[in-house]
């Protein structure tokens, strides 16, 4: 089994929660996502290195979109 853990920070626990919530629906059975303070931590397990790479690549694309949306939300709610 191959495993990768990705940890990204998002400035606040609220932003991390929003990012994690946006990512979870796309998780496969081999993925877990959790929030640790202002960080989103996702672990991916796959049988092959190629499968792991493909899954991580897809995850990073989804993460980028989720983080951009969370950032826009934060900007739109500033006083």
Domain residue spans of the chain:
2-76
**Confidence at residue 69, expressed as pLDDT on a 0 to 100 scale:** 86
* This prediction's pTM: 0.88
Nearest by Cα to 63 from 30, 22, 35, 29: 22
Mark the ranges of the chain whose per-residue pLDDT is less than 70: 73-79
CATH topology classification for 2-76? TATA-Binding Protein (3.30.310)
What 60-66 contacts at long range (C-beta under 8 Å, 24+ apart), as own/partner pairs, is 60/6, 62/22, 62/23, 62/26, 63/6, 63/8, 63/19, 63/23, 65/22, 66/18, 66/19, 66/22, 66/23
The 3-state DSSP class for residue 13 equals helix
**Confidence at residue 72, expressed as pLDDT on a 0 to 100 scale:** 76
**Confidence at residue 19, expressed as pLDDT on a 0 to 100 scale:** 96
């Amino acid at each position: 089994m191959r495993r990768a853990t990705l940890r990204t920070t998002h400035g606040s626990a609220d932003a991390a929660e929003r990012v994690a919530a946006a990512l979870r629906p796309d998780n496969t059975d081999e993925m877990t996502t959790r929030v640790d303070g202002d960080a989103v931590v996702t672990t991916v397990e796959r049988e092959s290195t190629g499968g792991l790479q493909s899954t991580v690549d897809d995850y990073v694309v989804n993460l980028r979109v989720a983080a951009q949306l969370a950032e826009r939300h934060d900007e739109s709610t500033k006083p």
